[in-house]
């Protein structure tokens, strides 16, 4: 045999390499994936905004309910103000989380939405302009090399078939020499067949080698053209990745209330309110308002004064009247009063 053909060896398995024909489609698909990922990011931001809104509303409702309970409850004094300070904290934090929700929806969400609109342009027939341009550019870069590769596959197939024919001819020629039934003329034809197959396989081999050489020469240009288009896809993807990173940093800034001075001020105020409370002061107030510190009109001896008897309070008269006691002092006052004043005294005594 003139060639090194191995019949047992099958065709070469294609690799998963980018350089294989059609494997650029993964780079093209990444453009469509980028558009979908923008939608995913917007949904992610929107869901977090809903959580912030719900938390803000729950803090407000909680604060309102507990403020009323504490106001109506038995707690008093500076410690009561400290407890109410916790509700004030909730109200202020509620406002901050409502602001976080607004920042996420009005800034971050809209930022992604506008960038997506500016970066991806839909076509009338579906798909995106950027995807179509990348697809066409890759096809154009790969077409000459793919054509030569196809020619190479055909030349290789022809060569391998010629080698196979040559091997069969050699086998027949060798078998013919050992058989008496094969005439000299038949043996001559077998020899001629071997020679012809050797010539055919040699020609096929030369064509195969030439085609491979041409493909090898065109490979650097093919790689350069493909890399140019791939770099364009890389640049487009770099813009998306950089933008995504920028948006995530914005989201982090809006979520991280620890960097918000007003958030820190809420807890400084709460701490000031709590630490300013004084159990001793509250105990003193309670003692003065409801305990031993209260003023008391202790009973003292009172001399009878006829001029003051008409000032007896209604409360005292009604109490004594209910006990069936005759107020002798009042009767005496009525007897001693002028006639024109007795009517008022009499009416007062019956109330």
What's the pTM value of the predicted model, to 2 decimals? Answer: 0.72
pLDDT digits (tens, 9 = 90+) for 66-75: 999 999 999 9
Per CATH, the homologous superfamily of domain 25-121+128-142+219-270 is Arfaptin homology (AH) domain/BAR domain (1.20.1270.60)
Q: Which residues partner with 128 through β-bridges?
A: 122
| Mean pLDDT score, 161-187 | 84
| Mean pLDDT score, 235-239 | 97
For the packed helices 261-275 and 77-103, what is the interaxial angle rounded to 10 degrees? 170
Q: How high is the pLDDT of residue 171?
A: 87
Q: How high is the pLDDT of residue 312?
A: 54
Q: Virtual CA dihedral for 147, 153, 159, 164, nearest 10 degrees?
A: -160
Q: Which region among 41-45, 100-104, 277-281, 346-350 has the lowest average model confidence (pLDDT)?
A: 346-350
Q: Which region among 24-28, 164-168, 183-187, 249-253 has the lowest average model confidence (pLDDT)?
A: 183-187
3-state SS assignment for residue 122: strand
Q: How high is the pLDDT of residue 351?
A: 36
Q: How high is the pLDDT of residue 13?
A: 66
Helix ranges (H only) for the chain are 25-72, 77-103, 110-119, 129-177, 184-255, 261-275, 279-290, 314-322, 328-336, 339-349
Percent of the chain with pLDDT over 90: 72
The Cα diameter of the chain in Å comes to 182
Q: Which region among 23-37, 76-90, 221-235, 300-314 has the lowest average model confidence (pLDDT)?
A: 300-314
pLDDT digits (tens, 9 = 90+) for 266-276: 999 999 999 99
Q: Are 232 and 172 in contact (CB under 8 A)?
A: no
Q: What single-letter DSSP state applies at residue 323?
A: T
Q: How high is the pLDDT of residue 317?
A: 52
Task: Report how far apart, in Å, the C-alpha atoms of 65 and of each of 58, 61, 314 are.
Answer: 11, 6, 44
Q: How high is the pLDDT of residue 349?
A: 41
- Return phi, psi of residue 295, to 5°: -70, 145
pLDDT digits (tens, 9 = 90+) for 123-136: 998 899 999 999 99
pLDDT digits (tens, 9 = 90+) for 316-350: 555 444 444 444 444 444 444 444 444 443 444 43
190 vs 119, which has greater pLDDT?
119
Q: Within the chain, which residue ranges are assigned CATH 1.20.1270.60?
A: 25-121+128-142+219-270
Q: Are 154 and 175 in contact (CB under 8 A)?
A: no
Q: Which region among 147-151, 193-197, 223-227 has the lowest average model confidence (pLDDT)?
A: 193-197
Q: How high is the pLDDT of residue 345?
A: 39
189 vs 332, which has greater pLDDT?
189
Percent of the chain with pLDDT over 70: 84
Query: What is the overall mean pLDDT for the chain?
Result: 87
| Mean pLDDT score, 163-187 | 83
């Amino acid at each position: 045999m003139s060639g090194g053909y191995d019949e047992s060896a099958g065709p070469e398995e294609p690799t998963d390499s980018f350089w294989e024909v059609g494997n650029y489609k993964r780079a093209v698909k990444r453009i469509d994936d980028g558009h979908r990922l923008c939608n995913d990011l917007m949904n992610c931001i929107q869901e977090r905004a809903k959580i912030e809104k719900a938390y803000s509303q729950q803090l407000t409702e909680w604060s309102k309910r507990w403020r009323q309970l504490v106001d109506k409850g038995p707690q008093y004094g500076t410690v009561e103000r400290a407890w109410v300070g916790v509700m004030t904290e909730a109200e202020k934090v509620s406002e901050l989380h409502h602001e976080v929700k607004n920042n996420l929806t009005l800034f971050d969400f809209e930022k992604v939405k506008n960038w997506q609109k500016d970066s991806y342009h839909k076509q009338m027939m579906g798909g995106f302009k950027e995807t179509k341009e990348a697809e066409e550019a890759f096809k154009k870069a790969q077409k000459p090399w793919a054509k030569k590769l196809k020619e190479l596959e055909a030349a290789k197939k022809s060569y391998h078939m010629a080698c196979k024919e040559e091997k069969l001819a050699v086998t027949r020629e060798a078998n013919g020499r050992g058989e008496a039934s094969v005439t000299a003329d038949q043996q001559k034809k077998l020899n001629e067949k071997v020679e012809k197959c050797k010539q055919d396989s040699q020609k096929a081999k030369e064509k195969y080698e030439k085609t491979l050489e041409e493909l090898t020469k065109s490979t650097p240009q093919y790689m350069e053209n493909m890399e140019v288009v791939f770099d364009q896809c890389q640049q487009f993807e770099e813009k998306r990745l950089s933008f995504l990173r920028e948006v995530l940093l914005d989201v982090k800034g809006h979520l991280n209330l620890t960097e918000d001075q007003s958030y820190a001020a809420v807890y400084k105020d709460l701490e000031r309110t709590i630490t300013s409370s004084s159990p001793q002061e509250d105990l003193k107030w309670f003692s003065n308002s409801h305990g031993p510190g209260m003023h008391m009109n202790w009973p003292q001896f009172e001399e009878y004064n006829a001029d003051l008897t008409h000032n007896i309070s209604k409360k005292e008269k009604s109490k004594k009247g209910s006990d069936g006691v005759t107020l002798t002092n009042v009767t005496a006052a009525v007897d001693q009063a002028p006639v024109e004043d007795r009517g008022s005294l009499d009416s007062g005594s019956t109330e």
